[in-house]
A and B are shown apart, each in its own frame.
Chain A
């Protein structure tokens, strides 16, 4: 239902709408539950905007096609779930290496292998960080509401374009199918970032020459430039630089630096009632909703609970955790998995607060009551 600019839509539709609002004009996908509706929306709506949709023969092909389209200048996206996300990893590495902007949506299902397609989990968090081989950075955003699905998809494109890198969006099976009312912003009010385009004389153009900002201008195919690139470690010319150890290190550093030197711009984290909190809940995605509700209930019961909600889970919001670890007695990480972001939080807490973990991996969302019980358990003898 679209009523004026207010709409009641699902998480999957919000992602597709957000992407089109961000300027996405190429989508390639392969059917998979619980992500297929994103494909359906794009198939039906992209032609209206002159955009292109294709159902590829598999997810390897989908990932390849969106990278190809982006090299020709498109803002491009694919969406999938665990099995497909696994198949995309090699090509994802090429996009990182060749610095091609694109957005990959992983609607997380439960379990390894086929797992359970229709129920949620948050178990692809480390795959989003380290799924493709070799040293590389990752920008990954976790979605917790339909509103965020819309807004963070736009942000994912902005980050991809600005930093010339793939950006991963993690949704989950529940959010994908759940409808919520959101207000769709007037397209004119949105902040939309487009990649920096090469303007130098084509004779002078080097595809990976840093212009001082750490991000190299892009020359879409067909725009008058001729350039080469490869998934092999390359230097500023785009050609392999495999025999020079110094150049190898420089190229890997460049990939990291463009992210690490811009953490203030990239990292997004929300803090709720953290100022005086004795217990900090760290939760993201769908679990963050339960965590936020729990903070209110706990306070009514006299327990000072606050929430740190990483929106970018990669790069991880280390500063926010460093801030709360000084004051809080306990940091409780709540995730729908066997313990993934928990290890990162633990690393950043550095033993300065008690650290506890509430992991639920049964295909059910974590209920606020369960979090409250966990809080009471970990605070016995601490508060």
Chain B
């Protein structure tokens, strides 16, 4: 057993390593934080299903020793809904890129949040489509350069946390890859949460977004994250201009509301009690 107390061997399919991610890519850091959170939460591997989207980030499920699958692009939360509703005793973790979650899968995101179904959504936001070569995503900031916005992006971005919050998610938090321990803390709270929980991890794609926007190396981008992150309380006192090129971090929502599958189970109980 190695210095990591066996966490690597326990949760990672080491025979599938090294992973496919580029040097400096943030995906590995997020996966690291997630595994630690899962370990801290003491989740049973056979009782846990990890579903990931299609994209660089989506490859994460293949490295994990869980029941895991990569279905089609954008539908992770809809698959998760079927699994969780049929067998609420399973833990369901959804790993999605920002494109997978908020563009093609945006409809499933808002409805899973609205239902408050008890699954954990982990969004790796690198502000672009990594796997397909650096096109703009729904989180690409205005003026940014991508392969499909070669003259500067003209669309405003989504704030995925706000989207989840207004849609009804009952746990919402954001951190970034410079703060892996905070990510772990949020993941752990999300995993323990009874209801729809979403954690957005800001993570870099130095190969595409970074290069196209002259953000420097992976290391430089990582250090920059620390400067770009603004605590929720502080952000409240800042103007829109001051928040330019920054992102707000912290726990945005943590509340109790009836969880979807529990509500459904109550219907079953009621119907069966009344007899038929």
Footprint of B on A, CB under 8 Å? 25-26, 28, 47-48, 50, 52, 54, 56-58, 60-61, 64-74, 76, 90-91, 93-94, 98, 202, 221-232, 239-240
Q: A222-B90, A229-B69 given as contacts; is B82 within 8 A of A67 (CB)?
A: yes
B31: min CB distance to chain A, Å? 15
Q: Using an 8 Å CB-CB cutoff, how does the interface string of B43-75 with A read, 1 for contact, 0 for none?
A: 001110101000000000110011111111001
Assembled-state Cα–Cα distance A229/B66 (Å): 11
Contacts of B71 in A (CB 8 A): 64, 67, 91, 94, 98, 230-231
Give the complex CA separation of A252 and B63 in angstroms. Answer: 25
CA distance in complex: A335, B61 (Å): 46
Q: Which residue of B lies closest to A71 (CB)?
A: B83
Other A-B contacts than A47-B271, A64-B79, A225-B67, 11 sampled, CB-CB below 8 A, are: A48-B276, A52-B85, A57-B107, A65-B78, A67-B82, A73-B86, A74-B86, A222-B47, A222-B87, A226-B46, A228-B61
| Interface band, chain B | 35 or more
Task: Report the minimum CB–CB distance from A183 to chain B (whole Å).
Answer: 21
Question: Which of chain B's residues have a CB closer than 8 A to the CB of A98?
Answer: 69, 71
- Contact check: which of A47, A71, A90, A91 meets B267 at CB < 8 Å? A47
Indicate if the CB atoms of B271 and A221 lie closer than 8 Å.
Answer: no
Which A residues are in CB contact (< 8 Å) with B179? none
> What is the distance, in angstroms, from B111's C-beta to the closest C-beta of chain A?
4
Interface of A is mostly: mixed
CB contact between A61 and one of B16, B45, B107, B268 (< 8 Å): that residue: B107
Closest B residue to A93 by beta carbon equals B72
B89 is an interface residue with CB less than 8 A from chain A: yes
In the complex, the answer to whether B46 meets A225 with C-beta atoms within 8 Å is yes
Closest residue of A by beta carbon distance from B89: A222
Q: Nearest chain-B residue to A239 (Cβ)?
A: B62
> Is A61 in contact with B72, judged by CB distance below 8 angstroms?
no
Q: Distance (Å) between the CB of A240 and the closest chain B CB?
A: 8
In the assembled complex, the Cα of A57 lies from the Cα of B71 at a distance in Å of 18
A-B contact pairs, 23 of them (CB 8 A): A47-B264, A47-B272, A48-B272, A54-B82, A60-B78, A61-B107, A64-B81, A64-B82, A65-B79, A68-B81, A68-B83, A68-B86, A71-B49, A202-B46, A221-B49, A221-B83, A222-B89, A225-B67, A228-B67, A230-B69, A230-B70, A231-B71, A240-B62
A52 partner residues in chain B, CB cutoff 8 A? 85-86, 264
What A residues does B80 contact at CB under 8 A?
Answer: 68
